[in-house]
Structure 1
Amino acid sequence: MEFTVQVDSTLYDISELVTKVSYTDKLNDGCSKLEFSYINDNLVITNGSTVRFKYNDSEIFNGHVFKVSRDDKKEISVTAYDQLRYCKAKDVIVVDGDTTTTLVKRMCHYFNLRTGTLTDTGYVLDTNVHDDKTWLDMIYAAISDTLLNKGSKYALRDEFGAITLRNLEDLRLNLILGDESLCYGYDYEKSIDDEFYNQIKIYLKGETSRDSQFVSAKDETSIEKYGMLQYFEASDENSNASKAKKKADILLKLYNREVETLSLECLGDTRIRAGTSFYAYISDIGLNKSLFVKQVTHKFLPNHTMSLEVSI
């Protein structure tokens, strides 16, 4: 384990002083977080200090300290976040001829953040003005729009001090988790109670009521089995019937399936981050396919383990 912290202009190696380390990463839901504790009266880590953490030569975290606390046992607890923490700032953001990729570039330029791989999404977003929203919320909305219109999902994340935009297809691992393979516990649920829809209805508002129309997509077999569960949205004035029908079909494909949630307790693998995918095999629930990670928490001391929430 290699653990360094830079306080002001001085670099300290605290690898032997750290008593707890936990790293949490969520898919398109804010910055990653590193929490650690150490005992040393002579070294006081301050907010704004730079923290870098490697484990078995794998680059885990590179960010800055935002919280420092201590107790009567002289144990100092520290919380650090990656660069995306700065992008929680609200602003008025105009989207005009942009893709998700160009918006990420604009965001990083505005906050003076270092960038890494920024995959070209290739989808031009609708012209819009985002008022009183954070940069992160605006980027996540762009990722969602790109998914609905292109069918490709992307992950915005910080990779050891470099902001990246990755297609989830490029984050597949040659790894199996499940029966007799690193996994030692799981919780599984299947539901139609939330985010399950078998009829999609989009309202296109025209200049007059006569010009307005509905566009829909539905699965009769699913409706017969579960009852009609409808998703509805009103479209903006720039939408047309053809575009709305395409969106309705994509939404039906995304939402017309039982929502399965699965959490896993496993031995640690440093390659696992939010957005990465692996192959899962759990015979008890008939699971035998590729999954991607929605959230992961790694704990490194005394042994490396990880808790995963995955999308099925």
Structure 2
Amino acid sequence: MEILLDNKNGRVWDVSQIVSDATWTTKRIGAASSFEFTMIKGGIYQDPSFVINNGDVIRVRDGDWNIFYGYVFEINESRDESVKVKCYDQIRYLMSNDTYVFKGIKASDVVRRIADDFGLKTGTLQDTGYVIPVMIEDNKKLLDTIWKALDLTLIHSGQNFIFFDDFGKLMVRRLSELKVNIGIGDESLMTDFEYTRSIDTDTYTKIKIVQNNKKTGKRDVYIAQDSANSARWGQLQLYQVADEKQNAAQINQLLSQLAQLKNRETRSLSLTAIGVPGIRAGSFIPVVIEELGLSQYFCVDECSHSFEGAVHTMKLKLVVV
């Protein structure tokens, strides 16, 4: 693995040989990816011109794979011979709060506008299709604003998009296009697993949407309910208030989409495996575990790669989407 440090002063240092261990962590929603590593004082550390500061650029490659491009945010030194460094990608700069008012805009354009406003680099921003009528985010975290736009797109159109930083460029890609052809499971990379099926967090057997009707002075009620699952799991209700500008057809479409997304068990699978550089949060990977009767694609929700010497392992938290 190659780890380069750019001091932004015209000098680039190859610190690969003095890094004793490193961890690369990605999460699909709500966080920047991080790269944390430990350097041993010595070698180039003895060069009086070598320095590492917050804001320096870190570039990490593994063979032909681009792993991480980000910035130093924390340096921890002590009396021993080690220096611990924590870095984040561009998404870290989206943890700031701001106010935005959007009208008639797509989620992909939300990303483009925020990136432009904050001087962030973008790569492929695929057209997300669904036009959000109105979205007002007052003093909200920028990353939350982006994910709200993507969630609205999923709910109203059924299209699932992933937002991430790909080696220094912000991307919006369809989940279906992020398939990895490397299978994990029985006799393939996996060393252990933990499988959970739940109706505790995001499962609803009844969807209820109400809308204020100014003409009648009452609320119109729209309901979708699965009687079979209600009998099995009990009545788990999701309640929402529709925008007054939505018509009945739009509300019924939303009702149908929510019923399709929410009326099911949530399933999560955690794996430990031999590391594969191309797998990160947002990847769509095939998993085969005969003991669980599983042979299907899962989405990587969280991924942590650990590098120590020549040993590369990874921990994956997977979800069904």
- Range into which the TM-score falls when normalised by the shorter chain: over 0.9
Counterpart CA distance in 2 for 1:132 and 1:266 is 41
In the alignment, which residue of structure 1 is the partner of 2:138? 131
- Could you tell me how far 1:98 is from its partner in structure 2? 1.1
The aligned length equals 312
Counterpart CA distance in 2 for 1:123 and 1:257 is 24
Which letter does structure 2 place at the counterpart of 1:102?
D
Is residue 26 from structure 1 mapped to residue 34 from structure 2 by the alignment? no
Q: TM-score, normalised by structure 1?
A: 0.97
Quick one: which of 172, 197, 202 aligns to 1:195?
202
Which letter does structure 2 place at the counterpart of 1:84?
I
- Could you tell me how far 1:57 is from its partner in structure 2? 2.2
- Could you tell me how far 1:208 is from its partner in structure 2? 5.8
Is residue 184 from structure 1 mapped to residue 191 from structure 2 by the alignment? yes
In the alignment, which residue of structure 2 is the partner of 1:65? 72
Contact conserved, 1:217 with 1:245, CA < 8 A, in 2? no
Mapping 1:100-119, distance limit 5 Å: 100-119=107-126
Mapping 1:1-312, distance limit 5 Å: 1-9=1-9, 10-40=11-41, 41-42=45-46, 43-207=50-214, 210-302=217-309, 303-312=311-320
Percent identity (aligned)? 34
After alignment, is 253-262 or 18-27 more displaced?
253-262
What RMSD in Å do the two structures reach over aligned CA positions? 1.3
Counterpart CA distance in 1 for 2:207 and 2:111 is 31
SS of 2:13's equivalent? strand
- Could you tell me how far 1:128 is from its partner in structure 2? 2.6
After superposition, the Cα gap between the structure-2 partners of 1:45 and 1:209, relative to the gap in structure 1 and judged at 3 Å, is farther
Contact conserved, 1:50 with 1:63, CA < 8 A, in 2? yes
SS of 2:17's equivalent? coil
> Which string of whole-angstrom CA distances, capped at 9 and with x for unpartnered residues, describes residues 2-55 of structure 1?
110012412111010101110000112221100001012444411000000001
> Which string of whole-angstrom CA distances, capped at 9 and with x for unpartnered residues, describes residues 82-115 of structure 1?
0111111111101112101111111111111111
Counterpart CA distance in 2 for 1:55 and 1:301 is 13
Counterpart CA distance in 1 for 2:210 and 2:265 is 25
- Could you tell me how far 1:217 is from its partner in structure 2? 0.9
- Could you tell me how far 1:209 is from its partner in structure 2? 5.7
- Could you tell me how far 1:71 is from its partner in structure 2? 2.1
> Which string of whole-angstrom CA distances, capped at 9 and with x for unpartnered residues, describes residues 230-280 of structure 1?
111112222222211111111111111112121000111111011111111
Counterpart CA distance in 2 for 1:145 and 1:8 is 39
SS of 2:277's equivalent? coil
Counterpart CA distance in 2 for 1:140 and 1:64 is 23
SS of 1:174's equivalent? coil
Q: Which runs of 5+ in 2 are unaligned?
A: none
Q: Which runs of 5+ in 1 are unaligned?
A: none
Which letter does structure 2 place at the counterpart of 1:4?
L
SS of 1:144's equivalent? helix
